[in-house]
Amino acid sequence: MFENLQEKMDRVFKTLRGEASLNEWHIDNALKEIRVALLEADVHFKVVKEFTNRVREKAVGESVLTAFSPAQQVTKIVRDEMQQLLGGTEVGLALVGSPAVVMMAGLQGSGKTTTSGKLALHLKDRGKRPLLVPCDVYRPAAIDQLRIVAGNVKVPFFEIGDERDPLKIAGKAVQEARTLLYDVVILDTAGRLHIDQELMQELEAMKAATRPSEILFVADAMTGQDAVKSAKEFDERLGVTGIVLTKLDGDARGGAALSIKSVVNRPIKLVGIGEKYTDLDVFHPDRMAQRILGMGDVLTLIEKVEAEVDQKEAERLARRVAKDKFTLEDLRSQLGQVRKMGSLSQIVSMLPGGAKVTEDQIDEKSIVRMQAILDSMTRKEREFPQIINGSRKKRIAKGSGTTVQEINRLMKQYLAMKKMMRTFSKGLGARRFGKMAKGLPPEFLQ
């Protein structure tokens, strides 16, 4: 979503890298490019003006001028201001009450129902007991859709029977949750194609009846400034406590994400980054700012690894690597762990400079082919790769739908990995990485 903005920002910083010192002319030219980049990304013009004014104010300060090289100086200032623009610090969900009620609001088509399911799974994975409640009785099949979503994420669904009054449904659901000891009640409310009095009155009445601890406005990031406008109108009537941005993995210009906090003055709490139910993340302004500026998002990648990778398996592998016993069986196990973490393009995008790698350069099917080859081998062949001769390779190629050349390529990659792991296990790699880290710019080490 922020690809074009990343490219333009990178161009701005490149023009400053050859400069020995930074003066007002450099700042004005850099800010002109940044202003154009933000406006082209569909960021609200008032937000752009305030942002560039703050950057200029900080950039001309003498205490800053001598701290870094010109490129590092502007990069750091822009990153800090971008972080403030996105909300400053992470704001988590305030789940107060027994049960805590979360009301999902937004226009039709913004992804409320799916996001309700994602949120339920998100809370369930964190030890909560959520209950999904269908309060959209107007849209055809909305109730069935939420029932299917609840089944997919394995979260309890509140059956409404013949009841078609959203207020009564919400009230009964809260009462049932209290009786059955559910922690959180998630109300999937009705959306409209546009904001109208009937919708707002119904939501206001539901708010008064259930007293939700969170009223989350679900905004489709693909709709740009319309999402910002809708969020503002909902907030004026309901008092929205937070925003959930969906479809942040789309190819829109991303201006809504950069504008919504400043215009609505409500924090972005969660973001939808894909179609899977697990693709809902807590929003971290600092990490998003770094990703926009091409610095990657290593912390989120680490968290993803910690969540998906089997700790016991990782420890077992570490012991085998230390003893120089890394086999094709271990490689097969590691490929399975990598696939759990999501697509290769998603993982690469979190690495510094990863935004410059295009999807054409990433072969998503390479892991599938490698797994097919390894699955076509016998256990003995994976444990003792040296026994794999020409006739065995032909059999493996036939069984995996690949070629002998691809098997030879996999064997070369495996030997290269084994050599690299041997080097790291002896401590050489760690010492080299330490030397490299000392030479990194200050903003990458904060």
pLDDT at 172 over 80: yes
Angle, alpha carbons 151-153-158 (nearest 5°) = 50
Q: Pick the residue with more confidence: 71 or 267?
A: 267
Residue 171: pLDDT band with limits 50, 70, 90: very high
- Which ranges in 341-403 belong to alpha helices (H)? 344-349, 366-375, 379-383, 390-400
Residue 159, SS3?
coil
Tell me, yes or no, whether 249 and 316 share the same domain. Answer: no
Tell me, yes or no, whether 230 and 325 share the same domain. Answer: no
Each residue of 326-344: pLDDT tens digit?
888 888 887 777 766 666 6
Q: Check if the beta carbon of residue 195 is closer than 8 Å to that of residue 219.
A: no
Angle, alpha carbons 344-346-350 (nearest 5°) = 110
Q: C-alpha distances in angstroms, 271 versus 38, 88, 203?
A: 20, 16, 23
Tell me, yes or no, whether 232 and 118 share the same domain. Answer: yes
Mean pLDDT of 113-134: 93
Tell me which residue of 16, 1, 4, 19 sits closest to 78, measured CA to CA. Answer: 16
Tell me, yes or no, whether 205 and 269 share the same domain. Answer: yes
In a domain, 90, yes or no: no
Cis peptide upstream of residue 99 (ω within 30 degrees of 0): yes
Tell me, yes or no, whether 76 and 124 share the same domain. Answer: no
Q: Check if the beta carbon of residue 224 is closer than 8 Å to that of residue 253.
A: yes
Question: What is the model's pLDDT at position 225?
Answer: 73
Q: Check if the beta carbon of residue 288 is closer than 8 Å to that of residue 261.
A: no
| Contact partners, residue 29, CB within 8 Å, separation at least 6 | 15
* Phi (first) and psi of residue 22, to 5 degrees: -115, 130
Question: What is the model's pLDDT at position 441?
Answer: 44
Question: What is the model's pLDDT at position 414?
Answer: 86
Gap between the Cα atoms of 88 and 265, Å rounded = 12
DSSP-assigned letter for residue 245: E
Each residue of 39-57: pLDDT tens digit?
877 777 888 888 888 888 8
Q: Which amino acid is at 346?
A: Q
Question: What is the model's pLDDT at position 365?
Answer: 75
- Tell me how crowded residue 352 is: count the other CB atoms within 10 A of its CB: 16
Mean pLDDT of 341-357: 57
Torsion of CA 178, 180, 184, 189, to 10 degrees: -80
DSSP string of 329-344, one letter each residue: HHHHHHHHHHHHT--H
> Which is it for strands 214-220 and 242-246: parallel, antiparallel or unpaired?
parallel
Question: What is the model's pLDDT at position 443?
Answer: 41
Residue 415: pLDDT band with limits 50, 70, 90: confident
DSSP string of 269-300, one letter each residue: EEEE-SSSTT-EEE--HHHHHHHHTT---HHH
Tell me which residue of 207, 188, 202, 208 sits closest to 132, measured CA to CA. Answer: 188
Tell me, yes or no, whether 348 and 413 share the same domain. Answer: yes
Q: Return left, alpha or beta for 163; rule: phi > 0 is left, psi -120 to 50 is alpha, else beta.
A: beta
In a domain, 242, yes or no: yes
Find which of 171-185, 274-288, 291-305, 338-352 is predicted with most confidence, using mean pLDDT: 171-185
Mean pLDDT of 263-284: 86
Tell me, yes or no, whether 430 and 390 share the same domain. Answer: yes
- Tell me how crowded residue 210 is: count the other CB atoms within 10 A of its CB: 22
Q: What's the half-sphere exposure (Cβ side, CA atoms, 13 Å) at 428?
A: 6
Gap between the Cα atoms of 138 and 328, Å rounded = 55
In a domain, 241, yes or no: yes
In a domain, 303, yes or no: no
Tell me, yes or no, whether 286 and 326 share the same domain. Answer: no
Question: What is the model's pLDDT at position 445?
Answer: 40
> Domain boundary at 295, 321, 345, which?
295
Tell me, yes or no, whether 265 and 317 share the same domain. Answer: no
Q: What is the CATH number of the domain that holds 182?
A: 3.40.50.300
In a domain, 94, yes or no: no
Environment class of residue 251 by beta-carbon count within 10 Å: exposed (0-12), middle (13-18) or buried (19+)?
A: exposed
Q: How many residues can be counted in the chain?
A: 446
Residue 154, SS3?
coil
Cα torsion 312, 305, 277, 239: sign = positive
Mean pLDDT of 348-353: 55
Number of domains in the chain: 3
Residue range(s) defining the domain that contains residue 421: 310-444
Q: What is the CATH number of the domain that holds 78?
A: 1.20.120.140
Question: What is the model's pLDDT at position 25?
Answer: 73
* Phi (first) and psi of residue 79, to 5 degrees: -65, -45
In a domain, 162, yes or no: yes
pLDDT at 206 over 90: yes
In 78-129, where do the E strands start and end? 100-105
Residue 305: pLDDT band with limits 50, 70, 90: low
Q: What is the CATH number of the domain that holds 341?
A: 1.10.260.30
Question: What is the model's pLDDT at position 303?
Answer: 55
> Domain boundary at 51, 85, 119, which?
85
Tell me, yes or no, whether 439 and 369 share the same domain. Answer: yes
- Tell me how crowded residue 3 is: count the other CB atoms within 10 A of its CB: 16
Tell me, yes or no, whether 266 and 361 share the same domain. Answer: no
In a domain, 305, yes or no: no
Torsion of CA 353, 293, 363, 304, to 10 degrees: 100
Least confident of 2-6, 56-60, 152-156: 2-6
Least confident of 153-162, 283-292, 386-395: 283-292
Tell me, yes or no, whether 180 and 326 share the same domain. Answer: no
> Which is it for strands 130-135 and 100-105: parallel, antiparallel or unpaired?
unpaired
> Domain boundary at 52, 85, 118, which?
85
Please report, rounded to a whole number, the percentage of residues in the chain having pLDDT higher than 70: 72
In a domain, 300, yes or no: no
Q: Which residues pair with 234 in a beta bridge?
A: none
Q: Check if the beta carbon of residue 34 is closer than 8 Å to that of residue 56.
A: no
Question: What is the model's pLDDT at position 297?
Answer: 47
